[in-house]
C-alpha cells in the first residue's frame, strides 16, 4: 500500500491565524492568485507510520530561518516529543540547501526598530536547547548547504547524514555577528582548536570533513538519499541500533582528501590556540611562508576582511564555551546577539549584512576598522549578562522541559 503523508495540523502565529481561518485556497489558475500569492508553508510536518518528517520549505531563500520557521518548528517538535506514536523525527530541507541559517535580511530590515528581532532570536536559541536534548531519535538528511543556525539542526542530532553536495560553514563573524545557535558550545568541543578556526575564518567543510570532525555521522551518496528516507519511514521504530543499521545499508566509509584542512590540525592548533585575535593573526603570518602552508594566505585574507569586533566577540565566546554548559552557552549567546543587534558598541552587523546581502558590494566599512582598535572594555560590555528575568529561559531539568517560551517572558508582557 503506498504511503500517503498526512500533513500535521499546525497552529499558525497570531498574525497569520486569521488569514488561514478566513481564506479558502483559490483555483490554481485564478487571476486573484497571481496578484495575491498565498503565504508558503515555510515548515512542512508529516506523520508517516512511526516517523515524523519536518521539511524546511523556503527553497528560494536557501531555507533561511525566520520568525515563522522557528515558531512552527518548535510547535511540531514539542507535539511530536509528547506523542507516544512518534518514534523517529527526520529533518530535511527543500531544494538545493538544507538551511543557510538565519535570514540576514530580516535582521537588516529590523535595524531601525527597537528589538524587532528579539522574539525570533529568543525562540531560536530556546529551540536549540530542545534540539540538543530531544527525547526522540533524530536524523538529519543534509543534501546541500548547511550554515549557522541551519547546522544547529544537524550537529546535535543522533544521526546526521551528509552527501557529496553538503557544505558546512559558520561564517557569522565575517558580517559582525558571532558564532551562535549553540555553536560556542559545539565548536569548543571539536578536536584541538578546530572550533576557533571554523568560527573565526568561516571556512567551509565538505561532508568527509564534517564526519571526521564529529559534525556528522554518515556519508550517503545523494542518489541514494530518497531510498534511505523511504526505508526509515517504513522502520516504525526509534530504536537507535535499528536506525543505525538502516543508514549503514546506504552509507559509505569515507577518507579525508589529502589536501583537507583537517590534515593541517597541528598548524591550526599552533596558531588558533593563541590568546587573542591579534596573536592568532601574528602566528598565521609567521607560518604562511613555511612549505606546505599555502592554505594560510586565503585564511589571513578572510579574517582581515571580517568585522574586527565580530572576530573578538567570537573568539571570546568560543573560549568561554569550553568551560560552559549548553544552557550557559545559549544564555550567553542570546545576550551577545541582542547587544550586537542593539549596536551597543558598533553597528558592524548592519554594515556587514548591507555589504553581503543588500548592496552586495562586498566592501564593508567596519568601525573600528582594525582588531587593534577594538577596546577590551567594549567587548566586556557586549558580554555583560542579562538579569535573570531578561535572560534566555532554558529549563534546568526535564520536569518543566517545554517551559520558558517567549510568550511567557517579560519580553512578551512588555510588548502587550
Read off the pLDDT of residues 50-71 as tens digits, 9 standing for 90 and up. Answer: 999 999 999 999 999 999 999 9
Q: What is the pLDDT of residue 224?
A: 98
Cβ atoms 19, 58 nearer than 8 A: no
Q: Is 398 a residue of the active site?
A: no
Residue 161, beta-bridge partner list: 141, 218
Interatomic CA distance for residues 125 and 332, integer angstroms: 10
Q: According to DSSP H, which parts of 27-87 are helical? A: 31-35, 67-81
Q: Is 351 a catalytic residue?
A: no
Reported as a single tens digit per residue, the pLDDT across 203-243 is 999 999 999 999 999 999 999 999 999 999 999 999 999 99
Q: Is 176 a catalytic residue?
A: no
Q: Is the pLDDT of residue 315 over 50?
A: yes
For residue 65, list its beta bridge partners.
Answer: 102
Whole-number Å distance between alpha carbons of 177 and 161: 28
Which residue in 180, 196, 287, 348 is the catalytic one?
180
Q: Which of 172, 196, 209, 287 is the catalytic position?
A: 172
Instruction: Output phi, psi for 42, to 5 deg.
Output: -75, -15
pLDDT: which is higher, 8 or 275? 275
- Dihedral over Cα of 323, 325, 330, 335: its sign: negative
Query: What residue spans define the domains of the chain?
Result: 38-396
CATH of 38-396, one of 3.40.50.620, 3.90.226.10, 3.40.50.300, 3.30.360.10: 3.90.226.10
Orientation of helix 296-305 relative to helix 277-287, angle to 10°: 150
Catalytic residue among 64, 101, 102, 144: 102
pLDDT > 70: what percent of the chain? 90
- Which one from 50, 148, 149, 150 is the annotated catalytic residue? 149
pLDDT of 398 reads: 84
For the cut 80, the answer to whether the pLDDT of residue 336 exceeds it is yes
pLDDT in tens, 157-216: 999 999 999 999 999 999 999 999 999 999 999 999 999 999 999 999 999 999 999 999
63, 94 in Cβ contact below 8 A? yes
Strand partners, 51: 48, 88
Cell output for 18: 486569521
Any catalytic annotation for residue 291?
no
Predicted confidence at residue 212, as pLDDT, reads 98
- Give the model's confidence band at 39: pLDDT under 50 very low, under 70 low, under 90 confident, else very high: low
- What's CA 73's distance to the chain center, in Å? 13
Entry pTM = 0.90
Amino acid at each position: 500500500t503506498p504511503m500517503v503523508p498526512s500533513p500535521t495540523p499546525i497552529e499558525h502565529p497570531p498574525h497569520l491565524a486569521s488569514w488561514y481561518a478566513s481564506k479558502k485556497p483559490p483555483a490554481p489558475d485564478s487571476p486573484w492568485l497571481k496578484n495575491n500569492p498565498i503565504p508558503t508553508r515555510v515548515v512542512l510536518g508529516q506523520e508517516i507510520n512511526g516517523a515524523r518528517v519536518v521539511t524546511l520549505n523556503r527553497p528560494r531563500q536557501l531555507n533561511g530561518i525566520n520568525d515563522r520557521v522557528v515558531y512552527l518548528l518548535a510547535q511540531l517538535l514539542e507535539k511530536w516529543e509528547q506523542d507516544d506514536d512518534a518514534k523517529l523525527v527526520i529533518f530535511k530541507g527543500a531544494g538545493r540547501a538544507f538551511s543557510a541559517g538565519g535570514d540576514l535580511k530580516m535582521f537588516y530590515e529590523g535595524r531601525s526598530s527597537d528589538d524587532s528581532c528579539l522574539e525570533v532570536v529568543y525562540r531560536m536559541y530556546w529551540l536549540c536547547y530542545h534540539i540538543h536534548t530531544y527525547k526522540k531519535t533524530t536524523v538529519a538528511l543534509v543534501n546541500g548547504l548547511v550554515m549557522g543556525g541551519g547546522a544547529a539542526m544537524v550537529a546535535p542530532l543522533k544521526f546526521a547524514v551528509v552527501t557529496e553536495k553538503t557544505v558546512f560553514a559558520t561564517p557569522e563573524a565575517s558580517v559582525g555577528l558571532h558564532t551562535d545557535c549553540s555553536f560556542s558550545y559545539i565548536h569548543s568541543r571539536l578536536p584541538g582548536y578546530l572550533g576557533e578556526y571554523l568560527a573565526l575564518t568561516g571556512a567551509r567543510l565538505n561532508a568527509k570533513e564534517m564526519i571526521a570532525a564529529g559534525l556528522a555521522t554518515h556519508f550517503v551518496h545523494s542518489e541514494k538519499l530518497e531510498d534511505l528516507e523511504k526505508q526509515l519511514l517504513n522502520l516504525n521504530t526509534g530504536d537507535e541500533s535499528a536506525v543505525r543499521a538502516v543508514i549503514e545499508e546506504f552509507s559509505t566509509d569515507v577518507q579525508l582528501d589529502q589536501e583537507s584542512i583537517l590534515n593541517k590540525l597541528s598548524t591550526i592548533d599552533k596558531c588558533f590556540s593563541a590568546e587573542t585575535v591579534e596573536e592568532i593573526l601574528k602566528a598565521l603570518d609567521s607560518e604562511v611562508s613555511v612549505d606546505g602552508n599555502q592554505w594560510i594566505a586565503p585564511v589571513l585574507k578572510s579574517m582581515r576582511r571580517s568585522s574586527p569586533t565580530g572576530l573578538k566577540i567570537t573568539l571570546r565566546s568560543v573560549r568561554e564555551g569550553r568551560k560552559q554548559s549548553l544552557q550557559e552557552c545559549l544564555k550567553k549567546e542570546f545576550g551577545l546577539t541582542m547587544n550586537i543587534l542593539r549596536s551597543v558598541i558598533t553597528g558592524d552587523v548592519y554594515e556587514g549584512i548591507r555589504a553581503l546581502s543588500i548592496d552586495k558590494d562586498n566592501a564593508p566599512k567596519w568601525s573600528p576598522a582594525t582588531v587593534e582598535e577594538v577596546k577590551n572594555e567594549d567587548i566586556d560590555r557586549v558580554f555583560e549578562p542579562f538579569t535573570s528575568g531578561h535572560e534566555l529561559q532554558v529549563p534546568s531539568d526535564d520536569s518543566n522541559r517545554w517551559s520558558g517560551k517567549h510568550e511567557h517572558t517579560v519580553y512578551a508582557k512588555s510588548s502587550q
